[in-house]
């Protein structure tokens, strides 16, 4: 009798554990979210949003630039780096002084030329859900349209980036190429709370809500079918658009293919023990494996993530009131992401990205006063409200392409990624490049994206 009871107990307990584990790991249905939530100020009872799209020009009074130069000209108290250290403790203060000198005495003196460059692509604004959204809308020329098929593309940046990352990439996307028959009509918005787009005025504006706004922007511009490409937050947001609105997405391409689900973590761990089964042999080192080294580096570099996920207004205020502090904070991220072979070199940023491009990006955060509102996005995405949606566990049927650059964050192997994107059509590993791929190597990203679109649109491989 005791044996029978014991067996019965074990069977019952085993069934319970199996059911609980299965519920914990299984795919989930798509949540239903309000696609017209209002995020602006002073919501009127019968508010009707304007639907016009107006041209926007980046233009700042010279007094603002002169005031910045005056701030940079003050006697700042730099703490000397430790002996025999470079960038191990953060952005080297001796290197920072050289950057500030260049910023003050050379870059800002040619600010009008930088404005002209930033305005070389057409900018617009329109109101979506109570927020004025800024976006670049770059179209192929009429001559190009006659030669190639034009496909709409939503291009999404992340932090501490901006639309500035995409300039060279956009030119490639809109010009004639011999690679295939497509060119792209590009919509590249400043994310809500970033750059020249308004910030939400109440809590709860997370990556799902950002996805809704970005999808509604594409509808406003006139596209109900479009491609999506993004890295960093742009990848998370793009994945959410593909999840919540698969009927609108022709394909989703990412250069940061992360997936944080219990099953994905288990699969990644298993793959780390037999990488030859999951990753081409020549890409073991520097990509997923050795896994411990990748995650050790990730944890070491994730301090900013914890600060911005918990106290974004504190760090935001510190950055907004001190342009040199803002520069050091952002420069350090670009320096780190030049990769382990370069990130201790004093000229790494200029070598990999060009210093003017990174200063353009810093100026966008400074001039738009968005250090705080951009940092808040981390806190919103670490909230129970967002995490309880479990969007990583909701499969999306859209065609998906993944470009993995060697020095980027640890990514999910295809075995795990297909749980989320069963229609994974292209997965590429590169032995170079890093997190800011569109800025660092736009041509390589462009070629990978074109290869994905060829597969996603069912075109035959070229001979």
- Find the CATH number of the domain harbouring 237: 3.40.50.1820
Q: Residues near 405 by Cβ (< 8 Å), separated by ≥ 6?
A: 255, 430, 432, 433, 434, 435, 437, 441
User: DSSP letters of 105-135?
Assistant: IIIGGGHHHHHHHHTTS-EEEEEETTEEEEE
Q: Can 232 be counted among the known catalytic residues?
A: yes
Q: Residues near 268 by Cβ (< 8 Å), separated by ≥ 6?
A: 288, 291, 410, 412, 413, 416
pLDDT score at 12:
47
pLDDT score at 459:
52
pLDDT score at 392:
95
pLDDT score at 295:
74
pLDDT score at 381:
97
Look at residue 268 and tell me if it is in a domain.
Answer: yes
* The one catalytic residue among 378, 386, 429, 446: 378
Look at residue 55 and tell me if it is in a domain.
Answer: no
Enter the tokens of residue 196: 């020249």
Tally of domains within the chain: 1
In the chain (463 residues long), the average pLDDT of successive 10-residue segments reads 50 42 70 93 68 96 97 88 95 96 97 98 97 97 85 98 98 85 94 98 97 98 98 98 98 95 86 71 54 76 94 96 97 95 94 98 98 98 95 97 91 92 95 94 96 82 43
* The one catalytic residue among 198, 232, 360, 392: 232
Look at residue 9 and tell me if it is in a domain.
Answer: no
pLDDT score at 253:
98
Look at residue 240 and tell me if it is in a domain.
Answer: yes
Q: To which H or E segment does residue 54 belong? A: strand 53-56
pLDDT score at 290:
64
Domain that includes residue 395, residue range: 71-456
Predicted TM-score (pTM) above 0.75? yes
Q: Residues near 219 by Cβ (< 8 Å), separated by ≥ 6?
A: 248
Look at residue 32 and tell me if it is in a domain.
Answer: no
Residue 398 CB: number of other CB atoms within 10 A?
23
Look at residue 26 and tell me if it is in a domain.
Answer: no
Look at residue 154 and tell me if it is in a domain.
Answer: yes
Look at residue 418 and tell me if it is in a domain.
Answer: yes
């Amino acid at each position: 009798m005791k044996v029978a009871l014991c067996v019965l107990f074990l069977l019952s307990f085993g069934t319970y554990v199996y059911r609980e584990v299965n519920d914990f790991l299984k795919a989930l249905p798509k949540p239903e979210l309000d696609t017209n939530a209002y995020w602006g100020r002073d919501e009127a009872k019968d508010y009707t949003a304007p639907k016009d799209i107006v041209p926007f020009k980046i233009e700042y009074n010279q007094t603002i630039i002169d005031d910045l130069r005056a701030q940079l000209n003050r006697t700042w108290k730099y703490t000397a780096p430790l002996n025999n250290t470079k960038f191990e403790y953060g952005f080297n203060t001796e290197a920072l002084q050289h950057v500030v000198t260049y910023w003050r005495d050379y870059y800002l003196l040619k600010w009008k030329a930088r404005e002209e460059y930033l305005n070389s692509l057409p900018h617009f604004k329109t109101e979506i859900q109570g927020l004025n959204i800024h976006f670049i809308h770059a179209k192929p020329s009429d001559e190009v349209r006659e030669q190639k098929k034009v496909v709409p593309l939503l291009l999404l940046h992340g932090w501490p980036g901006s639309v500035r990352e995409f300039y060279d990439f956009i030119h490639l996307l809109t010009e004639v190429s011999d690679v295939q028959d497509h060119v792209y009509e590009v919509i590249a918005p400043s994310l809500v709370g970033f750059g020249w787009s308004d910030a939400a005025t109440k809590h709860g504006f997370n990556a799902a809500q950002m996805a809704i706004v970005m999808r509604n922007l594409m509808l406003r511009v006139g596209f109900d079918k479009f491609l999506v490409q993004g890295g960093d937050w742009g990848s998370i947001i793009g994945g959410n658009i593909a999840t919540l609105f698969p009927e609108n997405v022709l394909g989703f391409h990412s250069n940061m293919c992360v997936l944080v689900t219990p099953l994905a973590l288990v699969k990644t761990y298993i793959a780390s023990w037999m990488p030859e089964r999951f990753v081409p042999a020549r890409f073991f080192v520097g990509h997923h494996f050795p896994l411990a080294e990748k995650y050790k580096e990730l944890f070491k570099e994730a301090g900013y993530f914890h600060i911005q996920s918990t106290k974004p207004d504190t760090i935001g205020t510190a950055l907004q009131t001190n342009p040199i502090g803002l520069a050091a904070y952002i420069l350090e991220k670009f320096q780190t992401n030049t990769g382990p072979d370069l990130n201790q070199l004093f000229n790494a940023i200029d070598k990999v990205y060009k210093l003017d491009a990174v200063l353009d990006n810093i100026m966008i955060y400074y001039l738009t006063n968005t250090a705080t509102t951009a940092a808040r996005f981390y806190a919103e995405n670490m909230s129970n409200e967002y995490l309880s949606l479990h969007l990583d566990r909701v499969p999306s049927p859209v065609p998906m392409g993944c470009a993995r650059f060697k020095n980027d964050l640890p990514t999910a192997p295809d075995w795990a990624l297909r749980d989320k994107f069963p229609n994974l059509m292209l997965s590429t590993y590169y032995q170079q490049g890093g997190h800011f791929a569109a800025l660092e190597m736009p041509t390589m990203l462009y070629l990978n994206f074109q290869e994905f679109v060829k597969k996603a649109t069912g075109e035959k491989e070229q001979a």
